[in-house]
Amino acid sequence: MIARLTGRVLSLDSNTLVLDVNGVGYEIEVSSFTANSFELDNIVTLETHLIVREDAQILFGFKEASEKKLFQTLIKINGVGPKTCYWYFVWSWRRSVFPCDKGQRSKNPYGFAWRWEKDKLND
């Protein structure tokens, strides 16, 4: 598994970046939040998660280890594939997902909970 990459940003759009690591270009799926925090030609480090399927190998990139951990937790849920999880994750990460406190963890083995803010429901 490719767990982390450090390299120069070669190309960048809202959902994908190409990272040059010692002459090898890695195409990495990233959230718009992550993409907006980088600039071309800067050296960056991304936490990554590689999904290998029969027809594709998809590398997902995260700015923080906590984002990667949440993604890895969500894809373990039955019926939630990595693409579905990732795009939901991209949309909601900073808004509605937060870690459980110790008291809630006994009721929630995944270690996270959902919170919908009242004003977000009206968007």
Tell me, what amino acid is at 12?
L
Model-level pTM?
0.71
Q: Looking at residue 31, what is its pLDDT?
A: 82
Q: What pLDDT is recorded for position 88? A: 65
Total domains present in the chain: 1
Q: Convert 69-100 to b/e letters by CB count within 10 Å (16 or more is b).
A: bbbeebbeeeeeebeebbeebbeebeeebeee
Query: Tell me, what CATH number does 64's domain have?
Result: 2.40.50.140
Q: What pLDDT sits at residue 118?
A: 38
Which domain, by its residues, includes 110? 4-121
Q: Which residues of the chain, if any, have pLDDT below 50?
A: 94-98, 100, 102, 104-123
